[in-house]
Structure 1
Amino acid sequence: MDLGGMNFEKYKFELGARIMKARLKKGMTQDQLAKAIGRSQPAITQIESGKSLPGTGTLFKLGKALDTPVNRFFPETVPNRVLGTTIFGLLWVRIRHWWYRRKRNKSAEEES
């Protein structure tokens, strides 16, 4: 599936890589991050490896635990550069995340 020129699997991998980069910059282990956001260490591994897409709530918990604006986890887009961490930027992140999850769910239904 192609989402605006970006393969969905590549999107998940890039999202996970950005989360891992923020975690390493903060000097945290996967276990420490998992405890900070109330998830398991294997869940963090799944997210960082691109095998799992975190929900919106988890994304915001990750951002808070890593002292990183949530929009930094996503690929660079015009709204990310222009809106940044303003309320409109955060709204854009939520809308975009909802859209990608919606697309993923539709593709999973079509494969069934």
Structure 2
Amino acid sequence: LAQIEESCRGADCNDGHLAIRDFERHVGEVWVLTQNIDGFHTRAGSSNIIEIHGDLHHLECTRCGDKQTVKDYSHLPYLKSGEKEEGVFPTCTKCEGLVRPQVVLFGEMLYMDRI
């Protein structure tokens, strides 16, 4: 997922995201249900968003449970030299455990609080 985030870094919302935002502003209360994990609806300015598969920018440590929201992964520490999969997995700034985005991966259950 870190490689996906890196390859998408710098991308932004498109005219479709902006049209949905404008529709919401014109009509009033609109809910946006998306399977995308890129956070573009938030960047576009929509306010009532259900990200059914999560957001790549919301991270959680698999060891200590620390949660953080990041703009991108460029500032995150990664596994140290000599460790298996060095430089592939971001690590927690508090405990050095592995962090993962709060997204639904293949075979995982959806977040029940979003259904």
Same fold (TM over 0.5): no
Compute the TM-score of the two structures, normalised by the length of structure 1. Answer: 0.26
Compute the TM-score of the two structures, normalised by the length of structure 2. Answer: 0.26
Larger Rg: 2
